[in-house]
Amino acid sequence: MRVRLNGITKTFGSLKALDRVSLLIEEGKFFTLLGPSGCGKTTLLRVIAGFASPDSGEIFFGDQRINHIPPYKRETGMVFQNYALFPHLDVFGNVAYGLRARRIPKEEIRSRVHQVLKKVQLESLSRRFPGQLSGGQQQRVALARALVIHPRVLLMDEPLSNLDAKLRVAMRQEIRKIQRDLGITTVYVTHDQEEAMAVSDSIAIFNHGAIEQVGTPSEIYFRPQNRFVAEFTGTSNLMEVKVTAYDEEASLLTGDLKGNRVFLRCTQKPAGETLTILLRPEWIKIARDEEEPSTNLFHGQVVSSTFVGFMVKYQVKAFGDQVLAIEVQDPQEHEIKKEGDLIYFRFHANRPVVIAS
Amino acid sequence: MMRRYFTLWNVILLSVFAVLFFLVIYPMFSIFYASFQDPETGQASLESYQKIFRLPYYLRCLRNSLWVSGLSTLLSLMIGIPFGFFTSRYHLPGKSLIKTLATLPLILPTFIGAEAWILLLGRNGWLSNLLKQVGITLPSIYGWQGIVLVFTLQFFPFVFLMVSASINSIDRSLEESAGNLGAHPWRVFRTVTLPIVTPSVVAGALVVFYMSIENFGVPQLIGEDYRVLAVQAYNEFISEMGGNPSMAGALSTVLVLITFLVTFVQKYWVERKSYSMSSLRPPEIKRLKPFPTFCVWLFCAAIVFIALSPFLVILLSSITKNQGPVMYFGQFSLKNLTQAFRIAPRPIFNSFFLSTVATLIGIVFGLAVSYLVVRRRGPVTYLLDLLMILPLVVAGTVLGIALAATYNKGRIVLTGTWMILVLAYFIRKVPFSIKTTSSILQQIDASVEEASINLGVPPVRSFLKVVVPAMLPGIAAGAIMMWVTTLAELSSTIILYYGPWTTMTVQIFQYVGSGDFGPASAYGTILILSVLIPLFFLHRFLGRDVTATL
């Protein structure tokens, strides 16, 4: 089912929880609302489920406008952050609940419940009560309970936030696999950017009740449109560059970075005179010394050096008093620098992203 | 659809307010109003209040009330605090039994305790006769001494419970870190443990004071000429020479002002002062050397024994041969019990019937109020939460007087029907039901309801299908507490009952008054067992501590 939101606004007192949010979620897609806590993403999910009614704006499932439809008739399957399992019903009873409400024949209920429990690998636990299950198992019950009614849209509100780190990674892969198998339109809320990238077809980044950017995980990471998106989706080095020249044929921009000449690939001439550029820590490479001939070769002083096994994380003071994060994979290739050491680094002219400031 | 849903709850909200208005606010207002009226001319007058504060006869009632309540509170603290410390900090043989038994006095009817002490230490008491033979004459049990004795022994568990709950909530690391910072154990106790426990001690003291000052049965039975406010208000209202509604109203108003003050301090000062901690590691339970252990054990066991002995006396008396007021201990007879069951079972039926009806109404009402207060937070439901203190503030005697005076004339006449008893019981005891249901509702996340709605079940049905079943243990606990305490209710019953609707409590009260301890004990035994058996099941099957509700 395609979900379309049109200019959704919702205020709580003086707080604007949602500010003219418009979104199009294509049929069968895994769509994630990502943002810091209090940004309005959960409110939007509750608007879709019908638990919060927007002050203005429209919600469509397919071509049907559903603003006036009460939550219990919306046919959405919601997985709550705390699972919200019915404590007095066993696993079977929990999963069958929605089917019984729909007055589906007993035989069919039994087979559908067993089918979905098999899918989430809980068949053997159908007579257990929620209190007797681990966090991960409760999570699966909540998912099964939402899926079994064949909802038009699956809604998930930070479903993994109560699990430990390892289980979280395993569960998110499982959720993604089940979603693909069933081809069910899914709206997923999280504040964990890695989780969002791992599972989503599309991500909408939220801040202060408004959407900052919508795109695929790689678009979001490699081409963030603004500072907030850049900083929220990963470690970011942001630098101010003064434009000195632009070569249209080569799409090459020459700029001044605190007195250093820097080359950037740019498909069109930027509007302003000063640009903000983004460099992810892993886009920066370590050079052996200044003799290595390269463009965009700079040097700085190591402020801190953290060895975490598969890589070294450096904090490097360069371009005056700016501190850059640099991450070097396979650290044995280079000598690991210590605090206070001089370090040479470079980056390809293709790499930096110009951020609209 | 959402709009209609809200309206349904609004209707419920309105009915809840109406119930409070007609059963508490309006009756209280009318006796308040009467207290400012001259009983003969109907003119506005302050005469009754002037009398209370000028005439020694009335002033003494006020002083007496404050004296017995204050003294009982002090003695309850002296027993309850060490009892709480000992039972939570030391290994004692049979500790869990001691703790369970120590809470029983709270639930057992106080006027039966008074009857038992009269049987033991009264003019012709078994123990006083025994001591007289060896030449010891005890001071009289009648008057304030007896009242304070009964109050202290029945109410000290409030202090004990609050103190031990508070001690157990102190994380071990708190005292350990004080020690680690260089404080001696005594200093740790004085500077860390004691300040944390203090709000609970104060809370316990206030409850004891409140329970004492609003009590009617004990001073009436054992006080004789020692009059307290509750007793005097009753006398003024019931007086054979035609009651004085103005005086009864004024005395009630004074009593309500005191109980209101106590409740207010309890709710807004103590609760704010209390420290909430999530205790990860409860304090260490120490093992003392054998002799100190014995001393501590003896203290606790003796207290429990003395507090419960009256009830054993009643059980024993019910199967003892008697002739009028003279009990022949050692000679057994089932005459009184068979008489209660066979010849005069009506009071038993009445008590059970009235309590059951009041409890059923209380369950529904408690559910509605809990839902409104917990789930539909807003200024109106906050007001409701505040108003729900009212039934707690009004002493039983006062409520009885207020209801009887309000509904004996005019459009709605209820005085002289069984319904007025049910309504009085319901409004007086419904806080038990509200307290248990709302505390369990708070533990059920609102998302459980939303999950049900999301799965296709409309809101009201979702509440009934998902939330109510999850609340059942709490509802059952509240209902049982409401039922047993209603069964033991005397102070408003004594004003509101009439002939055919005599309850067990009234029957016991009258038999004790006329010195017929045999039949009084028979009904007393039935009452005690009717209270204990449901509580036993509550404890056994719901695994629920009775004390959580108090």
At A29-84, the pLDDT tens digits run: 999 999 998 899 999 999 999 988 899 999 999 999 999 998 898 999 999 998 88
Residue B546: pLDDT band with limits 50, 70, 90: low
> A105 pLDDT exceeds 80?
yes
> B50 pLDDT exceeds 90?
no
Residues in B 436-465 with any Cβ partner in A closer than 8 A: 444-445, 447-448, 450-459, 462
Report CA-CA distances (Å) from B265 to A185, A348, B80, B165, B210: 56, 72, 21, 20, 11
The predicted model gives B138-155 an average pLDDT of 90
Chain B closest-CA separation from residue A27 CA (Å): 20
Contact A347, A298 (CB under 8 A): no
pLDDT of residue A313: 92
> B358 pLDDT exceeds 90?
yes
- Mean residue pLDDT across chain B: 85
Residue B250: pLDDT band with limits 50, 70, 90: confident
Range A170-198 burial, b when 16+ CB lie within 10 A, else e: ebbebbbebbeeeebbbbbbbbebebbbe
What secondary structure does DSSP assign to B244-286, as a single string? -HHHHHHHHHHHHHHHHHHHHIIIIIIHHHPPP---SSPPPPB
Instruction: List alpha helices for A22-65, DSSP H.
Output: 41-49
pLDDT of residue B1: 39
pLDDT of residue B2: 46
> B345 pLDDT exceeds 90?
no
Half-sphere exposure in the Cβ direction for B54 (13 Å, CA): 6
The predicted model gives B530-538 an average pLDDT of 85
pLDDT of residue A224: 92
Look at B450 and A51 and tell me if their CB atoms are within 8 Å: yes
Q: Give the separation between CA B40 and CA B37, rounded to whole angstroms.
A: 9
Q: Which of A53, A80, A102 sits opposite B451 (nearest CB)?
A: A80
Look at B451 and A51 and tell me if their CB atoms are within 8 Å: no
pLDDT of residue B263: 84
Please give the residue of chain A at the shortest CA–CA distance from B1. Answer: A70
The predicted model gives B173-194 an average pLDDT of 78
- Identify the residue whose tokens are 């009775």: B546
| Structure-model confidence comparison of residues B446 and B244, the more confident one | B446
Look at B450 and A71 and tell me if their CB atoms are within 8 Å: yes
Residue B547: pLDDT band with limits 50, 70, 90: low
> B154 pLDDT exceeds 70?
yes
Look at A84 and B447 and tell me if their CB atoms are within 8 Å: yes
Please count the residue pairs, one from chain A and one from chain B, whose beta carbons lie less than 8 angstroms apart. 73
ipTM: 0.79
> B329 pLDDT exceeds 50?
yes
Least Cα distance to B220 among B326, B108, B115 occurs for B115
Chain B closest-CA separation from residue A88 CA (Å): 6
Beta bridge partners of A21: A8
Contact B366, B430 (CB under 8 A): yes
Residue B129: pLDDT band with limits 50, 70, 90: confident
Residues A239-287 have pLDDT tens digits of 988 888 888 888 888 888 888 888 888 887 777 788 888 999 999 988 8
pLDDT of residue B375: 84
Look at A81 and B447 and tell me if their CB atoms are within 8 Å: yes
Chain A closest-CA separation from residue B264 CA (Å): 31
The predicted model gives B338-358 an average pLDDT of 88
pLDDT of residue B120: 87
Q: Which tokens is B172 given? A: 């071990």
Chain A closest-CA separation from residue B466 CA (Å): 7
Q: Which of A71, A85, A87 sits opposite B453 (nearest CB)?
A: A71
Contact A187, A30 (CB under 8 A): no
Q: Give the separation between CA B170 and CA B85, rounded to whole angstroms.
A: 13
Interface test with B, best of A51, A78, A88 (most B CBs within 10 A): A88
Look at B450 and A149 and tell me if their CB atoms are within 8 Å: no
Chain B closest-CA separation from residue A155 CA (Å): 10
Residue B72: pLDDT band with limits 50, 70, 90: very high
Cα-to-chain-centroid distance, residue B511: 23
| Structure-model confidence comparison of residues B102 and B549, the more confident one | B102
Q: Give the separation between CA B434 and CA B10, rounded to whole angstroms.
A: 19
Residues A166-221 have pLDDT tens digits of 888 999 999 999 999 999 999 999 999 999 999 999 999 999 999 999 999 999 99
Residues B267-324 have pLDDT tens digits of 777 777 766 666 567 777 888 888 888 999 999 999 999 999 998 988 888 888 877 7
Phi, psi of A26 (to 5 degrees): -75, 155
Half-sphere exposure in the Cβ direction for B212 (13 Å, CA): 33
> B549 pLDDT exceeds 60?
no
The predicted model gives B473-497 an average pLDDT of 88
> B241 pLDDT exceeds 70?
no
Look at B448 and A86 and tell me if their CB atoms are within 8 Å: yes
Q: Which of A70, A75, A80 sits opposite B447 (nearest CB)?
A: A80
pLDDT of residue B280: 63
pLDDT of residue B394: 87
Least Cα distance to A351 among A272, A234, A262 occurs for A262
Q: Give the separation between CA A207 and CA B492, rounded to whole angstroms.
A: 61
Q: Which of B5, B454, B458 sits opposite A78 (nearest CB)?
A: B454
Q: Give the separation between CA B328 and CA B320, rounded to whole angstroms.
A: 6
B466 touches chain A (CB under 8 A): yes
Cβ atoms < 10 Å from Cβ of B325: 16
Contact A224, A276 (CB under 8 A): no
Residues B427-449 have pLDDT tens digits of 998 988 888 888 888 888 888 99
Look at B458 and A72 and tell me if their CB atoms are within 8 Å: yes
Which residues, in sequence order, are CB contacts of B522 under 8 Å at separation 6+?
Answer: B318, B336, B337, B339, B340
Residue B543: pLDDT band with limits 50, 70, 90: low
pLDDT of residue A357: 53
- The gap between the terminal CA atoms of chain B, to the nearest Å, is 40
Q: Give the separation between CA B352 and CA B484, rounded to whole angstroms.
A: 10
Look at A101 and B448 and tell me if their CB atoms are within 8 Å: no
Q: Give the separation between CA A53 and CA A42, rounded to whole angstroms.
A: 13
Chain A closest-CA separation from residue B172 CA (Å): 28
Residues B374-402 have pLDDT tens digits of 888 888 888 888 888 888 888 888 898 88
Please give the residue of chain A at the shortest CA–CA distance from B463. Answer: A86
pLDDT of residue A351: 85
Look at A86 and B452 and tell me if their CB atoms are within 8 Å: yes
Look at A97 and B455 and tell me if their CB atoms are within 8 Å: yes
> B456 pLDDT exceeds 80?
yes
Please give the residue of chain A at the shortest CA–CA distance from B453. Answer: A72
Interface test with A, best of B375, B443, B455 (most A CBs within 10 A): B455
Contacts of B466 in chain A (CB under 8 A): 86, 88
Report CA-CA distances (Å) from B37 to B50, B400, B544: 12, 20, 49
pLDDT of residue B539: 76
Contacts of B470 in chain A (CB under 8 A): 86-88
pLDDT of residue A292: 64
pTM to 2 decimal places: 0.79
Q: Give the separation between CA B211 and CA B432, rounded to whole angstroms.
A: 15
Q: Which of A86, A98, A142 sits opposite B456 (nearest CB)?
A: A98
Contact A179, A187 (CB under 8 A): no
Residues B200-234 have pLDDT tens digits of 888 889 989 999 998 999 999 898 888 898 888 88
pLDDT of residue B297: 92
Contacts of B447 in chain A (CB under 8 A): 80-82, 84
pLDDT of residue B384: 86
Chain B closest-CA separation from residue A77 CA (Å): 7
Contacts of A74 in chain B (CB under 8 A): 454
* CA dihedral sign of residues B357, B361, B367, B370: negative
Contact A336, A305 (CB under 8 A): yes
pLDDT of residue B3: 47
The predicted model gives B127-136 an average pLDDT of 84
Chain B closest-CA separation from residue A52 CA (Å): 10
pLDDT of residue A304: 93
Contacts of B469 in chain A (CB under 8 A): 86, 88
pLDDT of residue A1: 87
Residue B6: pLDDT band with limits 50, 70, 90: low
B8 touches chain A (CB under 8 A): no
Look at B469 and A88 and tell me if their CB atoms are within 8 Å: yes
Q: Give the separation between CA B304 and CA B311, rounded to whole angstroms.
A: 12
Residues A116-168 have pLDDT tens digits of 999 898 999 999 998 889 989 999 999 999 999 999 999 999 999 888 888 88
Query: Which residues does A contribute to its contact with B (CB < 8 Å)?
Result: 49, 51, 53, 68, 70-78, 80-82, 84-88, 97-98, 101-102, 142, 145-146, 149
Interface test with B, best of A42, A47, A72, A80 (most B CBs within 10 A): A72
The predicted model gives B110-116 an average pLDDT of 90
Q: Which of A146-155, B253-262, B333-342, B472-481 has the highest mean pLDDT?
A: A146-155
Report CA-CA distances (Å) from B63 to A195, B67, B227, B239: 71, 6, 10, 22
Look at B456 and A72 and tell me if their CB atoms are within 8 Å: yes
Q: Which of A7-16, B152-161, B187-196, B255-264 has the lowest mean pLDDT?
A: B187-196
pLDDT of residue B438: 86
The predicted model gives B335-362 an average pLDDT of 88
Contacts of B448 in chain A (CB under 8 A): 84-87
Q: Which of B448, B454, B470 sits opposite A71 (nearest CB)?
A: B454
Residue A301: pLDDT band with limits 50, 70, 90: very high
Contacts of A102 in chain B (CB under 8 A): 456
Q: Which of B5, B450, B469 sits opposite A84 (nearest CB)?
A: B450
The torsion region of residue B320 among left (phi > 0), alpha (psi -120 to 50) and beta comes to beta
Interface test with A, best of B454, B461, B542 (most A CBs within 10 A): B454
Residue A346 is which amino acid? R
Contact B373, B381 (CB under 8 A): yes
Residue B58: pLDDT band with limits 50, 70, 90: confident
Helix (H) or strand (E) holding B461: helix B459-462
Query: For chain B, what is the radius of gyration of the CA atoms?
Result: 25
Query: For chain A, what is the radius of gyration of the CA atoms?
Result: 25
Q: Which of B2, B450, B451 sits opposite A70 (nearest CB)?
A: B2
Contacts of B4 in chain A (CB under 8 A): none
Residues B409-424 have pLDDT tens digits of 777 777 778 889 999 9
Chain A closest-CA separation from residue B423 CA (Å): 33
